[in-house]
Structures are given as structure tokens and as C-alpha cells.
Amino acid sequence: MAIRNIRIEGDPILRKKSKEIKMIDEKIIQLAQDMIETMRSAKGLGLAAPQVGILKRIIVLEEEDNPTIAINPKIIHSEGEITDIEGCLSIPGYSGYVKRAEKIVVEYIDENNNNIKREVSGYLARAFMHEIDHLDGILYIDKAEKIYKDTEDEVGV
């Protein structure tokens, strides 16, 4: 495993659309493992492949200390609306309030080639939506109602 460089806002790759993954091979598994290591070393809760310069539809999320790997993730249903705080490893030092769905149904392929369909809510739903946005070149600052600089007593996410 290896820690990869996280691309920072202003890097044009963060604004590009990622491609569907056709086959889950060793290279994809290696990428996923590197992404998990990179996310953890940066103390993040999620990471999308474009953030490490790879335009492929794969995201990783920290879920109760277990990493989730989601390949070709798609939101197939969403409901409710909630505004909450979020941050991004590609926009260090800032946080913002973003309105998103409260509950979603997400579909993806896991690292063992299983088709997964799950209903998620709360922070995890927000994390899925944030990371899937990255795959379409969208950053949370495009949607935020208010963005502010983190100070020592405001915790970034």
C-alpha cells in the first residue's frame, strides 16, 4: 500500500468526470487500498479517486472503523433534506454548510464484485453524496450555503 498525493482545489482534474470501471482487477484493488491508506493518513472520512488524480468511479468511506469500497456508486433514491457541515481533503482549512438529502438508497459494486444496494442516512449518506459528487467534478463549495475558515475551536470534517 502507498499513500498518494491528494489533489487540492484549483487542480483541473478535480473538475473532470470520472469513468465507469468495467473490470475489478488487481490495479483497482491496489488503488482502493492506497486510497484507504491516504484517507486515513489525512484523517479523512472519505476519498474519491479523482482526489488522488485517477478519473475512475471509485470511492472509499470510513464506516465505524471499517473502510467501505464502492465502485461505480449510484444514488437511486433520495428523500428529505438536511443542512449540515462538511469539509473536504482537497479544500484544507475550510468547512461549509451544505443542504443534502437526509436519506438515500445507494447502489455500488464492492471489492469482491458483489452488487450492493443499501439505504443509508445521517453522516454516511452525506459522505456518499459528497464523494459521488467528486466523480462528476463537483465540489461541496459549489453547493455550500456558507463557507468559513476553520479555527482551532471549530472542528473540520
Binding-site residues for Fe cation sit at: 88, 130, 134
The SS3 assignment for 83 reads strand
Q: Is 40 exposed, middle or buried (0-12, 13-18, 19+ CB in 10 A)?
A: middle
Residue 89's alpha-carbon distances to 39, 69, 94, 140, in angstroms, are 8, 18, 9, 11
Closest distance to Zn ion from the beta carbon of 47 (Å): 7
Closest distance to Zn ion from the beta carbon of 80 (Å): 22
Q: Which of 119, 131, 152, 154 is catalytic?
A: 131
79/142 with CB nearer Zn ion: 142
71/130 with CB nearer Zn ion: 130
99/117 with CB nearer Zn ion: 99
Write out the E strands in the chain: 46-48, 58-63, 66-79, 82-86, 94-100, 103-109, 115-121, 146-149
Q: Contact letters (x/-) for Zn ion, 73-102, by CB under 5 A? A: ---------------x--------------
Which one, of 102, 99, 85, lies nearest residue 156 by Cα?
Answer: 85
User: Which residues from 25-64 bind Zn ion, rule CB under 5 A?
Assistant: none
108/128 with CB nearer Zn ion: 128
Residue 20's alpha-carbon distances to 29, 100, 126, in angstroms, are 15, 24, 22
- Closest-approach residue to Zn ion (CB): 88
37 is catalytic: no
Closest distance to Zn ion from the beta carbon of 48 (Å): 7
Number of residues located near Zn ion, criterion CB under 5 A: 1
Question: In whole angstroms, what is the distance from residue 97 CA to residue 29 CA?
Answer: 33
Residues at the contact surface with Zn ion, assessed by CB under 5 A: 88
**Which residues carry out catalysis?**
131
